[in-house]
Amino acid sequence: MQSESDSRRKRPKKKGNRFMRNAKGFAKQGIFGRGTHIGDEQFNYFINILDAMKVGFEDVEERVIMANNVFEQTHNQEIHLASNQIVSKALESLVGFVDDVQLERFFSKFGDNLRPMCSDRFASHVLQKMLEIAFLRGVGKSAIQDSSGAASSNKRAKPDAAQEEEEYNLQADFTEDHREKCRQFVLRVSKFMLNNLEDFVWDACASHIMRTAILCLVGMHVPKIAFEKGGTEIAKHRKMYSVPDEWQEVMKEFPQRLEMWPQFGDFPYQDHSSSLLGVICLALSVVDKSMLKHFAKKILTIGLLKSNEEDEEKNELETKIEVKDESDEKENKVAKEAEAETENKQEEPTLPKVFHHQSSVILLETIMSVAGAKLLIQLYAMLFCNRIGYLARQPGTNFSVQRLLQHIKEVPDFESVFTELQPHLEELLKMGYTGVVSALSAACLRLATKQSQMIATLQSALQVSGDKERSKLFFTCLIKLKPFEVVASDESGFVHLHGSLITQHLLQFNKPIFLVNCILDLPATQLAQVFNTPNGSHIVDAFMQSKFIGEKSRERLIRQLDGFYVDLAITRHGSRVFEQCFKAAQDAQKLRMAKELFSKANMLKGSPHGRIIYTKYRLDTYKLSPTQWQESLSKHLDGEQPKDTKRKTAKTAAETFKDILS
């Protein structure tokens, strides 16, 4: 376990705070931001703007007023000021709230100087943000598509400023003429990037603008936030919009031109070009699946399947080195080391070049996330087959194995992957690569295969198989992901994140009876301690919602927690457990649970989470009449059903009656 000092040291620092502190420090030395030089008055003005933005705004109108005032100060200095580090940060943060006149002025100024702006390390950020805002205003709110997938589920994770900015640009009452100019700006910048591919593919600044342009052309919006990184998490927080067909045709020209280049095979091994290929694959998955298949195959055959020539040359040089005869002892040491190296090399499979570079590994993961079933089969056969066990144990490639397990679609291929990984499960747990084990159990659940073998392998890896007394601690070992010898002396309430996820997967298997019995055989004190943790509380969700766990097992778990519901209800995570148990309980058990809570009402109301439970379940009326309380509570909880669910139910009923009447 890490000490508190270690955890504090590894805590990420807020880059925005450090940026402001450094900027003010350099200003005392007469350096007013990097890039173009600005005067003392201008520097102080924009620093005060950034400070005001850091404090925040009461509403969008205040932000709009400030944005227009700031942009008014840039008249006839747009290019010069945007190329300064401090001003660039302010303009990038406010450009999404300016009125149509100010934005069109910047369209004109930047449009006349696109080449230097694309390569400027500060003005390029403003241009990239302008492209995003022009896209949002150009498509409008009516163009938004049904995003019930990753975008909607992750909406809460998006910063509030980005949400406000997106809603303002979609819903504000801009003229059609302004929206048309925004659409023309998106198309103009995109075509400029397309016609200057040779200059911008490897450009550190312009490549970001090119990626944003490609996503805009297919209607994919990923917000750019100052000081925030994108990259591998680009699939999160995205929304889809319908765009003109002309935009999609322009986007398709990017892969068509790039794949004709003689340097195409080297693209995966350079950061900027590799990221560009990943974004193109993501865009093609929306626009043209067949073209995605062709493009990804070309990346695979020309780029990813390359042999690691540099390592081979190094190995040849190492074999040619002759050991100098200085002494017999040195000769013996060198001989032993050489034997050990040759043994290790024999165990290591020959890996293609893709697994030796981080940029190409990230590209491979992106391709796997958008690939169809046939392309995934080819990726597995050419890159992963007979190498899975080794790749899963390497720090740079085990995430690729996880991504493969998350997206693999064919049962026979998964079974061969499982067969390769099965002997290495215990070693993976020892090495701390628990994400691979979690992805493997999730794939067993998703594809409904190898489930009993997964449980047996986990028992063996955790050293609880073959002994009745040891097997009783399978659940405890599983949630901690530690072997029996370690868990036997561990009395802490620690629950490993991946241990919790694996337990949830196993509880939803077709035959989870062994794990269910292990849970029910634990003392209630230990169960309450586990369920009162952030990771452990979700195990109850899987237990109560699993299709393959019977009512009797659920009732037994609910009864077993009697006497601990107050302790659960007064904590953040335990209150969730109480709600799940109450929802699954029979009427008689609900009365017992309410009686237990009411008996310690003062303790319950002394906690913020307990007060929510007390109010939600109307425990103040329980004392008058428990039976009437139960009837009124059921009506009250039914009334809290989400509106969307009610609409779906009503629609289904209406459709049913329509069929009967017809």
- Encode pLDDT of 483-527 as tens digits: 999 988 888 889 999 999 999 999 999 999 999 999 999 999 999
What's residue 364's pLDDT?
Answer: 95
As a whole number, mean pLDDT of residues 426-455 equals: 95
Q: Is 280 a domain residue?
A: no
> Which structural domain range is residue 61 located in?
18-146+161-182
Q: Does residue 45 or residue 336 have the better pLDDT?
A: 45
Kindly report the length of the chain. Answer: 662
Beta-carbon contacts of residue 493 (< 8 Å; ≥ 6 apart):
529, 530, 532, 533, 536
- Beta-bridged to residue 239, according to DSSP, are 221
Does the structure show a pLDDT above 80 at 552?
Answer: yes
CA distances from 207 to 124, 213, 414, 632 (A): 10, 10, 37, 61
**What's the chain's Rg over C-alpha atoms?**
30
CA distances from 440 to 149, 384, 416 (A): 23, 15, 12
- Beta-bridged to residue 221, according to DSSP, are 239
What sign for the dihedral angle of Cα 234, 238, 244, 245? Answer: positive
Q: Does residue 217 or residue 148 have the better pLDDT?
A: 217
> In Å, how far from its chain's centre is CA 579?
28
Q: Give the Cα separation of 217 and 215 in Å (integer).
A: 5
What one-letter code names the amino acid at 35?
G
- How many domains, the chain? 1
What is the pLDDT confidence band of residue 44, given thresholds at 50, 70 and 90?
confident
Q: Is 40 a domain residue?
A: yes
Nearest to 84 by CA among 115, 22, 42: 42
Q: Is 291 a domain residue?
A: no
Token output for 202: 């490897």
DSSP E strands: which ranges in 213-343? 220-221, 239-240
Place of tokens 């195409």: 264
What is the pLDDT confidence band of residue 414, given thresholds at 50, 70 and 90?
very high
Does the structure show a pLDDT above 60 at 280?
Answer: yes
Supply φ then ψ for residue 35, to 5 degrees. 90, -145
Vertex 523 angle, CA 519 and 529, to 5°: 85
Q: Is 300 a domain residue?
A: no
Q: Please state the pTM of the whole predicted model.
A: 0.82
Q: Give the Cα separation of 1 and 484 in Å (integer).
A: 18
As a whole number, mean pLDDT of residues 73-97 equals: 89
Q: Give the Cα separation of 559 and 539 in Å (integer).
A: 17
What is the pLDDT confidence band of residue 636, given thresholds at 50, 70 and 90?
low
Q: DSSP 3-state assignment of 84?
A: strand
- Contact of 574 with 530, CB cutoff 8 Å: no
Token output for 470: 């040891």
Model confidence pLDDT, tens digit, residues 96-144: 999 999 999 999 999 999 999 999 999 999 999 999 999 999 988 776 7
Q: Give the Cα separation of 514 and 505 in Å (integer).
A: 14
Q: Is 260 a domain residue?
A: no
CA distances from 279 to 146, 404, 550 (A): 21, 19, 46
Quote the DSSP letter at residue 300.
I
Alpha helices, DSSP H, located in 225-270: 245-258
Q: Is 117 a domain residue?
A: yes
Q: Residue 6: CA atoms inside 13 Å, Cβ hemisphere, count? A: 3
Q: Is 574 a domain residue?
A: no
Share of the chain above pLDDT 70, in %: 80
Token output for 603: 């303790």
Q: Is 563 a domain residue?
A: no
